[in-house]
Structure 1
Amino acid sequence: MLCGVEILCSVVAVFAGLAHALGKALMTICSPKFSTAAGVISPTAWGGAKKVHPVSVSTVTALVESEKQQQLASGNYKDAAPPPSPPVLVLPAFKKKGGSTDHQEQTAPATTKAARGRPPRLVIPAAPVVVARPGGVDPFGGRETDVATETEVKGEGFCLASRRGVRHAMEDGYGFITHHNIEGGSQLAFYGVYDGHGGRAAVDFVADKLGKNVVAAASTMSRHQAGSSSPSQQRREEEDDVTAAIRAAYLTTDSEFLSQSVRGGACAATALVKDGELYVSNVGDCRAVLGSRGGVATALTSDQTPGRDDERLRIESSGGYVSCGGSGVWRVQDSLAVSRAFGDAGVKQWVTCEPETTRLRLTADDCYFLVLASDGLWCKVSNQEAVDAVAAAAASTNPCKELVAMARSRGSRDDITVMVVDLQRFLPV
Structure 2
Amino acid sequence: MLHGVRFLRSAAAALARLAHAILGSAGGWALLLRFMPLCPGPTSVATTTATAVPAPSWHHQQQPGRAAPSSKKQVHPAALAVDEIKPAGCGKDQQLTTPAALVLPALNSKQEQQQQGEKTAKAARGRPPRLTIPPPVACAPGVDPFGAAADRETDVATELEVQGEGFCLASRRGVRHAMEDGYGVIAHHITQGGSQLAFYGVYDGHGGRAAVDFVADKLGKNVVAALAAASTAAGRQAESGLPSPPPTGEEEDESETEQVVAAIRAAYLTTDSEFLSQGVRGGACAATALVKDGDLYVANVGDCRAVLGSRGGVATALTSDHTAAREDERRRIESSGGYVSCGSGGVWRVQDCLAVSRAFGDASMKPWVTCEPEVSRRRLTPDCQFLVVASDGLWNKVSCQEAVSAAAAAAAAPSSSAAVGPCKELVALARTRGSRDDITVMVVDLQRFLQL
Q: TM-score range by the shorter chain?
A: 0.5 to 0.7
* Match runs of 1:7-18 below 5 Å: none
Percentage identity across paired residues of the two chains: 74
3-state SS of paired residue (1:289): strand
CA distance in 2, matches of 1:243, 1:274: 12
Q: How many Å apart are 1:340 and its aligned residue? A: 0.2
Q: TM-score w.r.t. structure 1 length?
A: 0.67
Partner of 1:257: 275
- Aligned-partner residue type, residue 316 of structure 1: E
Say yes or no: does 1:380 pair with 2:403. no
Q: Which runs of 4+ in 1 moved over 4 A?
A: 126-129, 142-145
Of the three residues 134, 139, 148, the one matched with 1:141 is 148
3-state SS of paired residue (1:334): coil
* Match runs of 1:51-70 below 5 Å: none
3-state SS of paired residue (1:368): strand
Q: How many Å apart are 1:184 and its aligned residue? A: 2.8
CA distance in 1, matches of 2:262, 2:139: 55
3-state SS of paired residue (1:225): helix
Q: Is the 8 A contact 1:225 1:238 kept in 2?
A: no
CA distance in 1, matches of 2:222, 2:323: 25
Root-mean-square deviation (CA, aligned residues, Å) is 2.4
Q: How many Å apart are 1:168 and its aligned residue? A: 2.2
Partner of 2:26: none
- Aligned-partner residue type, residue 200 of structure 2: Y
* Match runs of 1:64-213 below 5 Å: 129-133=138-142, 140-141=147-148, 149-213=158-222
CA distance in 2, matches of 1:251, 1:127: 50
Q: Is the 8 A contact 1:195 1:268 kept in 2?
A: yes
Of the three residues 424, 433, 448, the one matched with 1:401 is 424
More moved, 215-224 vs 288-297: 215-224
CA offsets 1:182-214 (integer angstroms, 9 cap, x no match): 123211100000000000000000000001001
Partner of 1:217: 226
3-state SS of paired residue (2:202): strand
Structure 2 segments unaligned to the other structure (5+ residues): 1-134, 239-243
Say yes or no: does 1:371 pair with 2:380. no
- Aligned-partner residue type, residue 189 of structure 2: H
Q: Is the 8 A contact 1:225 1:234 kept in 2?
A: no
Q: How many Å apart are 1:328 and its aligned residue? A: 1.0
* Match runs of 1:273-312 below 5 Å: 273-312=291-330
Q: TM-score w.r.t. structure 2 length?
A: 0.63
Say yes or no: does 1:350 pair with 2:368. yes
Q: Is the 8 A contact 2:161 2:170 kept in 1?
A: yes
Q: Is the 8 A contact 1:222 1:238 kept in 2?
A: no
CA distance in 1, matches of 2:308, 2:262: 22
* Match runs of 1:403-422 below 5 Å: 403-422=426-445
Say yes or no: does 1:327 pair with 2:345. yes
3-state SS of paired residue (2:163): strand
- Aligned-partner residue type, residue 388 of structure 1: S
3-state SS of paired residue (1:271): strand
| Residues 200, 138 of structure 1: alpha-carbon distance in 2 compared, 3 angstrom cutoff | farther
Partner of 2:32: none
Q: Is the 8 A contact 2:139 2:145 kept in 1?
A: no
Q: Is the 8 A contact 1:144 1:167 kept in 2?
A: no
Q: How many Å apart are 1:143 and its aligned residue? A: 7.2
CA distance in 2, matches of 1:364, 1:175: 26
Q: How many Å apart are 1:348 and its aligned residue? A: 1.0
Partner of 1:360: 378
CA distance in 2, matches of 1:132, 1:316: 48
Q: Is the 8 A contact 1:276 1:428 kept in 2?
A: no
